[in-house]
Structure 1
Amino acid sequence: MNQSSELTELEERYGAHNYHPLPVVLAEGEGAWVTDTEGRRYLDWLSAYSAVNFGHGHPRLIGAAKAQLDRITLASRAFHTDQLGPFCAELAELCGKDAVLPMNTGAEAVETAIKAARKWGYTRKGVAADRARIIVFDGNFHGRTTTIVGFSSDPESREGFGPFAPGFDSVPYGDIEALNAAVTPDTVAVLIEPVQGEGGVIIPPEGYLAAVRATCDANGLLMIADEIQTGLARTGHTFACDREQVRPDVYLLGKALGGGIMPVSAVAADREVMDVFTPGTHGSTFGGNPLAAAVGREVVAMLATGEWQQRARDLGKHLEQALDGLDKSKVDAIRVCGLWAGVDLAEGGPTAREVCERMAALGVLCKETHHRTVRIAPPLVIEPHEIDRGVEILAQAIAEA
């Protein structure tokens, strides 16, 4: 079915004036709500996906961006501005690391970490040239570059994009014995999402992250935590690794780091890792540009108080209670981690895509993943009554889709 006929079918099903295919083109936004170009308002449950943890149009973030726009904005890496140094220092302090390397996108941060881990393996660990291996996990999502999709276990991400780069070993997520068995003398790092976001908010068994940390320590490996979706208060903690008091060697950050204003990502690590990059060996034209750095500094300042982390914990409890009222005959599982949830739909019922399309028609934007999981990620400014309204619409969409 082509896109035009598919849209016609959906319009006939839901009404041409109500249904809009995702993503909606946004004209403006405020708080937990966005407005399309025709004036319709939608409750945003896409915020981990679209990187707006603090809500749309947050005055502190808009103010930081406007102030910087009156000065230099998109200088390249050839210029060191008065925003770059403080941004790196403040983010490093938040992470408890020595150094920060700012980039633009999450995938760019992951690629940077892969390069750093390999070079660290050769120059620090003594792995023979071109033999470094990195352990990843089934069900992972780290981005869409050719290197990254090459170690994805999702056929849709891989098909048609090979050949892929070697050097990656994938093991089942949550299985510490499989991880230990995969370690070889050439292994240099473990790349892990503390909670698998695109996988459907898959939460590992209790104690698993600590066990991964122990494996890395025992074998001289870098633990690289991809906190691009999980980090910066989403799970009720500054980082999802904090849930088990685990400190990785490398943090990968993005999405919420830009506050919905700018694409901003970063790699945070101690000097022993970061200094494998020497002048000329790595860079990014717009990484750490003044506008991005100014917005990123305000995000870090907002997180430094702990207010947003606590809010995510409190609202997450409310969300979990609300989701518990869903029809259990139509739902196989519900997973909640902070203000983030995955709802697995029962076989034989509507697909997650159908449910999300119906929710959009009813005024809530949500994201499906892997056909049967609805992923819920409201902005951290959402109010309890808005959560209740969203769950009501989810229940209606499941029943009617």
Structure 2
Amino acid sequence: MTLLDTASTTSNDSGIPLGGPSLPQVRRLVTSIPGPKSQALLARKSSAVAAGVGTTIPVFTVAAGGGVIVDADGNSLIDLGSGIAVTGVGNSNPRVVAAVTAQLAQFTHTCFTVAPYDSYVEVAEALNRLTPGDHEKRSALFTSGAEAVENAVKIARHYTGKQAVVAFDHAYHGRTNLTMALTAKNMPYKSGFGPFAPEVYRAPLSYPYRDGGLDGVTAAKNAITMIEKQIGAANLAAMIIEPIQGEGGFIVPAEGFLPTLLAWAQANNVVFIADEVQTGFARTGAMFASDHEGIVPDLIVTAKGIAGGLPLSAVTGRAEIMDSSHAGGLGGTYGGNPLACVAALATIESYEEDNLVQRAADIGTLLTGRLNALRVNDPRIGDVRGRGALIAIELVDPATGEPDAALTNRVAAFAHAAGVLVLTCGTYGNVIRFLPPLSISDELLIEGIGVIAEALAAG
């Protein structure tokens, strides 16, 4: 573990470090992780917060920006997680801060379904413009990714008059009752929380690293055969899929898989829903991951990177599908909150004006280059995959190819202790994912991957 320069960060009059671009972009450890202040806060957490609310790294944040997070003890950590792909434009992005500050002085809430405001409409217009396809679209705004997924399914069922929904192996769609049913992984997301919503079925995914190199078209036909035999197109309202699996392990389906599914769905009056909660908004080196294969979903679900850290989500889709619901059938008290809406408009402006789609692509080139170089000399790295600033390594037993969750946990723990925040994922718990903010510097990225190399060497 490297002990870096201990110079103080820029701070305000209260002594709390400022976030945003003013924050020094260095990894700096002044205490062990966690330090005494974070340990005290962890003790308070255990007494006040439900035990089911876990944390990835045992530190408490006081400032964040660029590519670093500063904790209560003054440690500055490299951020390779972005709050699970949320802060794509960075924490405390100046455009977002200015927009939210101005809105805060005007009003914080009226409920759009009671007394509407223009920023909600502007966000819907932006989403209709940005999402794949040039057909007429409509959007509805919500608060969380799971809430948007639930509404997408609700809309599809209402439009088709059918009930069944298909999700895919390794899927993650949320932790509410319906989205738990759609989610594949039992622990920690589903165990003990049933019974789950009915009429949810699962189909096989294309997983190139683990399905023997099966081509995408054949993999899709296998899934379609299962759907036709076990459910029947006449009963199927929707299929929902992440264009690149998130929690399931950053699995990129083989070429042809998604287009083949989409063509079948549209030929059978089945609504094709792309869950781009984690992959949307420049994250993959395109504005949406669907763009990589040229697919145009009927409905697209977005959240996470949409509003620079404020809670907002959306369903955007074909006008005839979105407009099929009766007035009052869609909504929610906080859906499209005005603070979140202006944050989204500023965030979208940053993606477009600050060339962040290209930045994500450049990050992907750097990450895959460095990680593949490690893979050449370390057979425990079974696969390097992903797109843009959404990259993962799958760690395995080199003798058998079996998932090595224990090694994955050791690597993550080493990185955290050394001041690098990384996230794990995967159905088998053996994937380390890299989701840096697009505002991070190349220098911090390279340093962060260097710590991962040290962790692997330490075993």
**Partner residue, 2:56:** 22
The 8 Å contact of residues 171 and 184 in structure 2, kept in 1 or not, is answered as yes
**Partner residue, 1:341:** 391
Q: 1:74 aligns with which of 109, 113, 134?
A: 109
**Partner residue, 2:7:** none
Q: Where in structure 2 are the equivalents of 1:213-252 lying within 5 Å?
A: 213-252=262-301
The 8 Å contact of residues 94 and 300 in structure 1, kept in 2 or not, is answered as no
The 8 Å contact of residues 149 and 173 in structure 2, kept in 1 or not, is answered as yes
Q: 2:417 aligns with which of 355, 361, 371?
A: 361
Q: Where in structure 2 are the equivalents of 1:140-155 lying within 5 Å?
A: 140-155=171-186
**Partner residue, 1:136:** 167
**Partner residue, 2:159:** 120
CA distance in 2, matches of 1:329, 1:205: 23
Q: Where in structure 2 are the equivalents of 1:152-301 lying within 5 Å?
A: 152-156=183-187, 157-174=189-206, 175-181=219-225, 182-183=227-228, 184=232, 185-260=234-309, 262-301=310-349
Tell me the secondary structure at the aligned position of residue 118 of structure 2: coil
The 8 Å contact of residues 232 and 256 in structure 1, kept in 2 or not, is answered as yes
* 1:127-176 CA-partner distances (Å, limit 9, x unpaired): 4xxxx211110100011111111233212122111111111121111221
Residue 51 (1) aligns with residue 92 (2):
no
Q: 2:97 aligns with which of 42, 57, 62?
A: 62
**Partner residue, 1:373:** 431
What's the CA shift for 1:206? 1.0
The 8 Å contact of residues 213 and 223 in structure 1, kept in 2 or not, is answered as yes
**Partner residue, 1:322:** 370
What's the CA shift for 1:346? 2.4
The 8 Å contact of residues 22 and 357 in structure 1, kept in 2 or not, is answered as no
What's the CA shift for 1:282? 2.6
CA distance in 1, matches of 2:117, 2:405: 55
CA 1:203/1:306 → structure 2, altered by over 3 Å: closer, same or farther?
farther
What's the CA shift for 1:329? 2.8
What's the CA shift for 1:255? 0.4
What's the CA shift for 1:188? 1.6
Q: 1:107 aligns with which of 146, 152, 158?
A: 146
CA distance in 2, matches of 1:318, 1:333: 16
What's the CA shift for 1:22? 2.8
The 8 Å contact of residues 94 and 304 in structure 1, kept in 2 or not, is answered as no
CA distance in 1, matches of 2:194, 2:406: 33
CA 1:48/1:36 → structure 2, altered by over 3 Å: closer, same or farther?
closer
CA distance in 2, matches of 1:306, 1:177: 41
The number of residue pairs the alignment matches comes to 378
TM-score (norm 2): 0.79
**Partner residue, 2:128:** 92
The 8 Å contact of residues 258 and 296 in structure 1, kept in 2 or not, is answered as yes
The AA in structure 2 aligned to 1:103 is F
CA distance in 2, matches of 1:50, 1:234: 8
The AA in structure 2 aligned to 1:188 is A
What's the CA shift for 1:308? 1.1
What's the CA shift for 1:277? 2.1
Residue 331 (1) aligns with residue 387 (2):
no
Tell me the secondary structure at the aligned position of residue 351 of structure 1: helix
CA distance in 1, matches of 2:243, 2:83: 15
Gaps of 5+ in 1: 1-14
Tell me the secondary structure at the aligned position of residue 70 of structure 2: strand
CA distance in 1, matches of 2:122, 2:391: 34
CA 1:48/1:137 → structure 2, altered by over 3 Å: closer, same or farther?
farther
**Partner residue, 2:77:** 42
The 8 Å contact of residues 48 and 229 in structure 1, kept in 2 or not, is answered as no
CA distance in 1, matches of 2:31, 2:127: 45
CA distance in 2, matches of 1:345, 1:300: 35
Gaps of 5+ in 2: 1-28, 35-54, 207-218, 398-403
CA distance in 1, matches of 2:105, 2:425: 41
The 8 Å contact of residues 343 and 375 in structure 1, kept in 2 or not, is answered as yes
What's the CA shift for 1:350? 4.2
CA 1:65/1:349 → structure 2, altered by over 3 Å: closer, same or farther?
closer
CA distance in 2, matches of 1:75, 1:38: 39
* 1:170-228 CA-partner distances (Å, limit 9, x unpaired): 11112212321103111121101000011111000012111121111221211100000
**Partner residue, 1:9:** none
RMSD: 1.9
The 8 Å contact of residues 243 and 253 in structure 2, kept in 1 or not, is answered as yes
